[in-house]
């Protein structure tokens, strides 16, 4: 009995020691996480209830939900939200499907060829967004861009199209760039996930007479579902937060046709100094992302 | 249970990621500029260039400077060579010869991200001691928010008393305090590709000697150049605020209208004259309302021969020799600077005034050192000419003459002094709500460019811009 009690107290001490070590290892990251994520998050929510602005003698006035009410009466915010949803609704499925398709084509290739494809698709991800943007801006150029050059050369268009200066095309141009910079990571993840699918399961299904399509839907797709879920969530968040491309290419124009919530947050907070209003937008955006992520988790769980 | 925990954790993380971004501000704004937006708006009534030669003897700065001891920071926008580290270091070396106890650390800003950098520093309690820019920011923005030091004592000096009255007025806030001490100024104009105009036989519509043309002749010239095969003659650029004074100037001058009232208390762009100008420009062959470019990009297109005229121009552009000899396009065509066309022969140019402001960081020693720096750079008889020359613009005092004598750009600068500086108009960029109003301006141009009814769009601009004044007050 005494021996058993001794063992229990020793194992408790061991657990305590391990727990303490774990916390100590976590501490540096926790400090940064709390300092640069949790506290700003709390400040963001807090400030969204104030009429906060810049100024030496500026007093933040508590205005309750007034910023939130104003949001829904602000046509620019509503349009920004709509544009943001268009970006998300288009880019998330396209990124997932395209990257899965590419990954399915290349994951069985031999080392160097596979690496080459990985590099090609990952290059836009690791290239600075400014450099990428400059190249795309040149391609879209109204006067000497390659799209107009090729389009006219092939007889597809009669006159130059002002891709970024025309409301009908600008948002789609942004989405196209977003796609090229978004597919790299999902492709690498899918290549890895598909490579990890148990070959014996696939072979067994072959023996049972399963077609390639059946193998994919019945065996591979369920096994790579966690990867798909991760890609969906990350791509959704990235699409919701589309900002740099807008700032560098269109500044939200023409006529707010490429305004996104993230850009409008920036504009309200940094150009108009409406910090409270900008933070309210941030909270609303976060709620939308959380809701959409929840839906994605729910659907993935049902699968 | 585990899945629920994971789900909650993942949702929490996604929430946190967005909120932290919103709270911390956008990291995307840290990326460098892709355009050269050196044409920020400003204004001022244009004094004719200098008359009398400055005769003040060199000041004995050493005695006074020896007592000061502080470490200060200077943040400067790219105002001519004030964005060039070698030039600025040389100016600081001159200052340090007189004030050895003051250390000046410089940070170079650009017009794309500079405001964000300054604003972030202000919010973080790390505002620079001195910032170099124009009244639009120093007076109407940071000064109006009570962040700047009153520089009235600098205006009370002998040199300060010589500053053109209109420039002095632009440096004064609505509370009567001075938040900028000016160093230099320029009148923003337009330019044409003379070679293209000659080929199109359009020079007949231009008074090349006086750099003027009438509204009717402007449209005739544009049509002639267009008919000669130049599809893109000019662009009403409107992708953003960069160089937006050029679009306001062409529109306001064509039929002699205004942008604000004289008191700077209301936007007055909604006039039949401005509407007529916009309708005429929209209907004119060869003039594109282009929402994909800003002023800096328009200059690039003009320099590479894509456009035959630029509405965003000034003396610094005319003397620029980065890609081609000064006064020529990249392929060697001659560039002729022009006043904006007007129907009454009285062009009013938007101008730029640049100088220094001091952030009130609560340290009197630093404020004193900052004032000493400004006084030395702007007022010291042995230094001020070099300081102005570094800006590549013009002095703000009539007694400062011969700045560019003996330099390669002397002839060009004399031309600008004689034909352009006297046409500087009202400096209206200090109107409250300016940030919203200028955004409304280029948004209005975008809507007109995509077929919006001109009268309706101008009225919308007027309503929104004036609402911004009310909100700011």
Closest CA to B238 of B402, B28, B439, B99: B439
Distance between CA atoms of residues B412 and B85, nearest Å? 25
Residues A96 and A157 in one domain: yes
Taking CB atoms and an 8 Å limit, are A143 and B232 in contact across chains?
yes
Q: Is residue A54 in a domain?
A: no
Beta-strand runs (E) in A17-139: 50-51, 61-62
Distance between CA atoms of residues B242 and B312, nearest Å? 9
Residues B333 and B246 in one domain: yes
Residues A225 and A288 in one domain: yes
Residues B195 and B136 in one domain: no
The count of domains in chain A is: 2
Taking CB atoms and an 8 Å limit, are A297 and B435 in contact across chains?
no
CB A74 within 8 A of CB A84: no
| B272-283 and B434-449 helices, crossing angle to 10° | 40
Token representation of residue A143? 């006067």
Residues A74 and A223 in one domain: yes
Taking CB atoms and an 8 Å limit, are B290 and A297 in contact across chains?
no
Q: Which residue has the tokens 């789609």?
A: A172
Taking CB atoms and an 8 Å limit, are B20 and A278 in contact across chains?
no
Taking CB atoms and an 8 Å limit, are B145 and A55 in contact across chains?
yes
User: Which residues are B72's β-sheet partners?
Assistant: B104
| A184-195 and A75-106 helices, crossing angle to 10° | 40
pLDDT band for position B65 (cuts 50, 70, 90): low
List helix spans (H) across chain A.
2-33, 39-47, 66-73, 75-106, 111-126, 129-140, 146-153, 167-182, 184-195, 199-207, 212-215, 221-223, 225-240, 244-249, 261-266, 275-302
Q: Is residue B15 in a domain?
A: no
Could you say which of B22, B292, B293 has the minimum Cβ distance to residue A282? B22
Taking CB atoms and an 8 Å limit, are A279 and B22 in contact across chains?
yes
Token representation of residue B375? 């006084």
Question: Per-residue confidence of chain A (303 residues) as pLDDT tens digits?
Answer: 555 666 677 788 889 999 999 999 999 999 999 999 999 999 999 999 999 888 777 788 899 999 999 999 999 999 999 999 999 999 999 999 999 999 988 888 887 888 888 888 888 888 888 888 999 999 999 999 999 999 999 999 888 899 999 999 999 999 999 999 899 999 999 999 998 898 899 889 889 888 888 888 889 999 999 999 999 999 998 899 889 899 889 989 888 999 999 999 999 998 888 999 999 999 999 999 999 888 888 887 766
Residues B341 and B373 in one domain: no
Residues B194 and B260 in one domain: yes
- The whole-number pLDDT of residue B178 equals 95
Distance between CA atoms of residues B32 and A129, nearest Å? 10
Report whether pLDDT(B5) > 70.
no
Residues B80 and B153 in one domain: yes
Residues A19 and A86 in one domain: no
3-state secondary structure (DSSP) of residue B291 = coil
- Name the residue range of residue B292's domain: 189-346+432-472
Which tens digits make up the pLDDT trace of B398-443? 999 889 999 999 999 999 999 999 998 888 888 888 888 989 999 9
Q: Is residue B75 in a domain?
A: yes
Residues B377 and B465 in one domain: no
CB A138 within 8 A of CB B306: no
ipTM comes to 0.79
Distance to chain A for B321, nearest Cα, Å: 23
Taking CB atoms and an 8 Å limit, are B306 and A144 in contact across chains?
yes
CB A134 within 8 A of CB B34: yes
Closest CA to B394 of B96, B186, B140, B135: B186
Closest-approach residue (CA) in chain A for B118: A270
- The whole-number pLDDT of residue B64 equals 53
Residues A69 and A32 in one domain: no
B32 to chain A: which residues are within 8 Å by CB?
A: 130
Q: What is the CATH number of the domain that holds B404?
A: 3.40.190.10
Residues A231 and A89 in one domain: yes
Closest-approach residue (CA) in chain A for B121: A54
Distance between CA atoms of residues B460 and B392, nearest Å? 38
Q: Is residue B29 in a domain?
A: no
- The whole-number pLDDT of residue A271 equals 86
- Name the residue range of residue A284's domain: 65-302
Residues B400 and B338 in one domain: no
Q: Is residue B316 in a domain?
A: yes
Distance to chain A for B379, nearest Cα, Å: 30
Taking CB atoms and an 8 Å limit, are A285 and B22 in contact across chains?
yes
> How many CB pairs below 8 A link A and B?
170
Q: What is the DSSP letter of A270?
A: I
Q: Is residue A60 in a domain?
A: no
Check whether the bond before A254 is cis (ω within 30° of 0).
yes
3-state secondary structure (DSSP) of residue B289 = strand
3-state secondary structure (DSSP) of residue B352 = strand
Q: Is residue A241 in a domain?
A: yes
Q: Is residue B11 in a domain?
A: no
- Kindly tell me the burial class for residue B62, based on how many C-beta atoms sit within 10 Å of its own C-beta (0-12, 13-18, 19 or more): exposed
Q: Is residue A33 in a domain?
A: yes
Residues A38 and A69 in one domain: no
Q: Is residue A173 in a domain?
A: yes
- Which contacts qualify for A31-35: CB closer than 8 Å, 24 or more apart? none
Distance to chain A for B25, nearest Cα, Å: 7
Q: Is residue B402 in a domain?
A: yes
B232 to chain A: which residues are within 8 Å by CB?
A: 143
CB B274 within 8 A of CB B212: no
Select the residue from A135, A168, A253, A281 to test the B interface by mutation, using most B Cβ atoms within 10 A. A253
The count of domains in chain B is: 2
Residues A199 and A272 in one domain: yes
């Amino acid at each position: 009995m005494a021996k058993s009690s001794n063992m229990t107290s020793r194992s408790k001490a061991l657990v305590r020691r391990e727990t303490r070590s774990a916390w100590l290892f976590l501490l540096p990251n926790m400090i940064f996480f709390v300092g640069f994520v949790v506290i700003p998050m709390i400040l963001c929510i807090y400030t969204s209830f104030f009429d906060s602005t810049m100024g030496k003698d500026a007093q933040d006035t508590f205005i309750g939900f007034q910023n939130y009410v104003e949001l829904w009466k602000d046509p620019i915010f509503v349009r920004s939200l709509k544009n943001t949803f268009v970006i998300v609704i288009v880019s998330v499925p396209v990124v997932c499907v395209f990257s899965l398709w590419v990954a399915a084509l290349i994951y069985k290739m031999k080392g160097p060829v596979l690496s080459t494809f990985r590099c090609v698709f990952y290059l836009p991800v690791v290239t600075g967004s400014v450099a990428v943007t400059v190249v795309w801006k040149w391609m879209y150029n109204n006067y000497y861009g390659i799209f107009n050059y090729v389009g006219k050369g092939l007889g597809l268009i009669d006159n130059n199209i002002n891709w970024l200066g025309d409301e009908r095309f600008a948002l789609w141009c942004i989405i196209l760039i977003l796609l090229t910079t978004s597919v790299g990571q999902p492709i690498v993840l899918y290549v890895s996930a598909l490579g990890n699918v148990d070959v014996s399961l696939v072979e067994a299904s072959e023996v049972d007479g399963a077609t390639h399509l059946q193998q994919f839907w019945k065996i591979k797709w369920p096994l790579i579902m966690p990867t798909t879920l991760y890609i969906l969530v990350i791509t959704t968040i990235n699409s919701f937060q589309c900002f740099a491309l807008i700032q560098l290419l269109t500044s939200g124009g023409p006529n707010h046709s490429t305004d996104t919530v993230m850009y409008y947050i920036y504009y309200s907070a940094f150009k108009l100094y409406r910090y409270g209003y900008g933070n309210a937008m941030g909270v609303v955006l976060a709620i939308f992302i959380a809701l959409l992520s929840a839906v994605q988790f729910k659907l993935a769980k049902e699968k | 249970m585990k899945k629920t925990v994971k789900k909650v954790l993942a949702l929490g993380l996604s929430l946190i990621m967005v909120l932290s971004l919103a709270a911390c501000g956008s990291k995307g704004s840290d990326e460098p500029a892709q355009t050269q937006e050196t044409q920020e708006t400003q204004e001022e009534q244009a004094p004719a260039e200098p008359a009398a030669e400055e005769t003040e003897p060199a000041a004995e700065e050493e005695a006074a400077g020896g007592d000061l001891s502080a470490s200060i920071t200077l943040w400067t926008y790219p105002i001519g060579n004030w964005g060039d580290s070698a030039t600025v270091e040389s100016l600081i070396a001159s200052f340090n010869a007189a004030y050895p106890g003051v250390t000046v650390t410089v940070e170079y800003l650009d017009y794309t991200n500079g405001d964000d950098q300054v604003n972030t520093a202000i919010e973080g309690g790390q505002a620079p001691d001195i910032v170099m820019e124009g009244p639009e920011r120093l007076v109407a923005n940071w000064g109006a928010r009570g962040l700047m030091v009153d520089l009235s004592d600098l205006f009370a000096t002998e040199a300060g008393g010589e500053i053109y009255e209109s420039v002095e007025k632009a440096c004064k806030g609505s509370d009567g305090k001075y938040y900028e001490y000016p160093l230099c100024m320029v009148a923003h104009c337009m330019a044409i590709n003379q070679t293209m105009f000659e080929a199109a036989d359009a020079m007949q519509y231009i008074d090349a000697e006086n750099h003027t043309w009438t509204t009717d002749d402007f449209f005739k010239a544009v049509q002639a150049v267009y008919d000669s095969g130049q599809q893109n003659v000019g662009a009403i650029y409107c992708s953003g605020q960069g160089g937006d004074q050029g679009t306001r100037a062409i529109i306001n001058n064509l039929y002699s209208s205004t942008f604000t009232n004289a008191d700077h208390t209301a936007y007055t762009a909604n006039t039949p004259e401005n509407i007529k100008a916009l309708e005429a420009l929209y209907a004119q062959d060869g003039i594109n309302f282009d929402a994909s470019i800003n002023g800096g990009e328009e200059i690039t297109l003009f320099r590479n021969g894509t456009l035959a005229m630029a509405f965003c121009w000034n003396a610094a552009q005319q003397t620029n020799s980065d890609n081609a000899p000064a006064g020529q396009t990249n392929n060697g065509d001659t560039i002729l600077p022009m006043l904006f066309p007007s129907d009454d022969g009285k062009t009013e140019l938007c101008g730029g005034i640049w100088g220094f402001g001091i952030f009130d960081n609560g340290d009197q020693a630093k404020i004193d050192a900052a004032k000493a720096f400004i006084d030395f750079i702007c007022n010291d008889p042995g230094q001020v000419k070099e300081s102005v020359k570094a800006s590549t613009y013009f002095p703000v005092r009539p007694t400062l003459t011969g700045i560019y004598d003996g330099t390669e750009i002397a002839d060009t600068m004399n031309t600008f002094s004689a034909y352009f500086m006297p046409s500087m108009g009202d400096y209206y960029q200090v109107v409250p709500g300016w940030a919203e109003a200028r955004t409304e301006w280029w948004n209005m141009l975008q809507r007109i460019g995509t077929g919006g009814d001109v009268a309706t769009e101008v009225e919308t601009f007027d309503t929104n811009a004036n609402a911004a004044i009310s909100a700011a007050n």
